[in-house]
A and B are shown apart, each in its own frame.
Chain A
Amino acid sequence: KQEVTQIPAALSVPEGENLVLNCSFTDSAIYNLQWFRQDPGKGLTSLLLIQSSQREQTSGRLNASLDKSSGRSTLYIAASQPGDSATYLCAVRPETSGSRLTFGEGTQLTVNP
Chain B
Amino acid sequence: NAGVTQTPKFRVLKTGQSMTLLCAQDMNHEYMYWYRQDPGMGLRLIHYSVGEGTTAKGEVPDGYNVSRLKKQNFLLGLESAAPSQTSVYFCASTRISGTENYGYTFGSGTRLTVV
Chain A residues, CB < 8 A from B101: 31-32, 51-52, 93
CB distance from B106 to the nearest CB of A (A): 4
Main secondary structure of the interface of A (DSSP, over half): strand
CB distance A99 to B50 under 8 Å? Answer: yes
A55: interface (CB < 8 Å):
no
Q: What is the interface residue range for chain B against chain A?
A: 20 to 34
In the assembled complex, the Cα of A86 lies from the Cα of B10 at a distance in Å of 22
What string of 1s and 0s marks CB contacts (under 8 Å) between A38-66 and chain B?
00011111100101100000000000000
CB distance B50 to A98 under 8 Å? Answer: yes
B65: interface (CB < 8 Å):
no
CB distance B107 to A43 under 8 Å? Answer: yes
Q: Name which residue of chain A comes closest to B33, CB basis.
A: A100
CB distance B104 to A43 under 8 Å? Answer: no
CB distance from B38 to the nearest CB of A (A): 11
CB distance from A99 to the nearest CB of B (A): 5
Q: How many A-B residue pairs have CB under 8 A?
A: 46
In the assembled complex, the Cα of A52 lies from the Cα of B77 at a distance in Å of 35
What string of 1s and 0s marks CB contacts (under 8 Å) between A77-113 and chain B?
0000000000001010100001111011110000000
A34: interface (CB < 8 Å):
yes
Within 8 A of B (CB), among A14-52: 31-32, 34, 36, 41-46, 49, 51-52
Chain B residues, CB < 8 A from A31: 101
Number of interface residues of A (CB under 8 A): 24
Of A36, A41, A45, A99, which one neighbours B31 at CB under 8 angstroms? A99
CB distance B58 to A100 under 8 Å? Answer: yes
CB distance A43 to B50 under 8 Å? Answer: no
CB distance A44 to B50 under 8 Å? Answer: no
CB distance B94 to A43 under 8 Å? Answer: no
Chain A residues, CB < 8 A from B107: 43
Contact A43-B31, Cβ < 8 Å, known A99-B96, A100-B48: no
